[in-house]
Amino acid sequence: MDLDKNKPGTAPARRRYVTTRRLDRIFVELAKVYRFNARFFREVWFPPYEFKEIIKQCYEIGVRSLPLISLTGFIIGIVFTNQSRPSLADFGATSLLPALISVAIIRAIGPLVTALIAAGRVGSAIGAELGSMRVTEQIDAMEVSATNPFKFLVVSRVLASTLMIPALTMFTTLVSLLGGYLNVHQNELTSLSVFFYQVFDAITFLDIVASSVKSVIFGFTIGMVGCYKGYNSSKGTEGVGKAANSSVVTAMFLIFIEELLIMQVINAIRAF
């Protein structure tokens, strides 16, 4: 055995793996994710604050997503109401439609649909933009000009996403309920005031809090995943495509997991 192999000045040692190569990569990736998140929480509190960039990103994420979110929310409200009616009609309980729509949309569909659409639209845009900036050395250019690219690019986008997704969720929920109302009004001739009386009667304060907390977590996840994938992308244009794609897939996957976990926690609180 050549013991000199690891001495300085000779050929570098072959990389050793603590476990298997694949498992090592997973641990390394997890450590990188942890460090990325930790860096966000470290940097978000301290100046300089990039207010201009945050407002710009809020516009990009919030305002520009409105048309797509509105259309989707409205259609979901109509379709969900339409599909729920036959089941309730079997029991002669179509009068419970507003309550059913309210619980389903406010507790689950509103936040989830908004987050999934935002993951597609916003997550991919952030992943692609930062990925492209990484491979064209724009992030390096910021760094060598003594500007903190993490603060300018990542903190601003994650904050904007965390702020805007709850706002979009509220809007989607409202639009979905309006879609549901139109369907109910057309079929059951329910008035707007009666519809919304039943809607708010069916939900609790906990539902609204849970929905808001969920959408904040979803917003943070979308922003963070998009930024992480884009900021750490490599391998040229291929890497940009991968960053955009994997931002969407990973964010959606995490959103479902979070939905499941938060639902369990809320149910436990409700039971308590």
Partner 1 sequence: MEAKEINPNIDRNEKVISIRGLKKAFDDFEVLKGVDLDLYKGENLVVLGRSGTGKSVLIKIISGLLYGDEGSVNVLGQDVGELKPRDLDALRLKIGFSFQNSALYDSMTVRENLAFPLVRHAKNMGEQEREDLILYVLEAVGLSQAINQMPSELSGGQRKRIGIARTLILKPDIMLYDEPTAGLDPITCIEINNLINEVQRRFNTSSIIITHDLTCARAVGDRVVMLLDGQFQREGTFEEVFDSNDERVQSFYNYNFID
Q: Which residues bind partner 1 (CB under 8 A)?
A: 8-9, 11-12, 14-15, 48, 132-133, 136-138, 140-147
Compare residues 49 and 196 and give the one whose CB is closer to partner 1: 49
Compare residues 144 and 260 and give the one whose CB is closer to partner 1: 144
Do the Cβ atoms of 209 and 203 come closer than 8 Å?
A: no
Residues constituting the chain = 272
How far apart are the C-alpha atoms of 91 and 42, rounded to whole Å?
56
Do the Cβ atoms of 172 and 110 come closer than 8 Å?
A: yes
> Shortest distance, CB of residue 62 to partner 1, whole angstroms?
18
Residue with tokens 């990484």: 134
Compare residues 15 and 22 and give the one whose CB is closer to partner 1: 15
> Shortest distance, CB of residue 4 to partner 1, whole angstroms?
15
Query: Which residue, among 37, 91, 12, has the nearest Cα to 227 in the 3D structure?
Result: 37
Give the C-alpha distances (Å, rounded to integers) separating 59 from 114, 163, 182.
16, 11, 30
> Shortest distance, CB of residue 143 to partner 1, whole angstroms?
6
How far apart are the C-alpha atoms of 133 and 154, rounded to whole Å?
12
The SS3 of residue 2 is coil
> Shortest distance, CB of residue 35 to partner 1, whole angstroms?
15
> Shortest distance, CB of residue 137 to partner 1, whole angstroms?
4
> Shortest distance, CB of residue 13 to partner 1, whole angstroms?
8
Compare residues 11 and 261 and give the one whose CB is closer to partner 1: 11
How far apart are the C-alpha atoms of 122 and 125, rounded to whole Å?
5
How far apart are the C-alpha atoms of 107 and 110, rounded to whole Å?
7
Compare residues 40 and 218 and give the one whose CB is closer to partner 1: 40
Compare residues 129 and 259 and give the one whose CB is closer to partner 1: 129
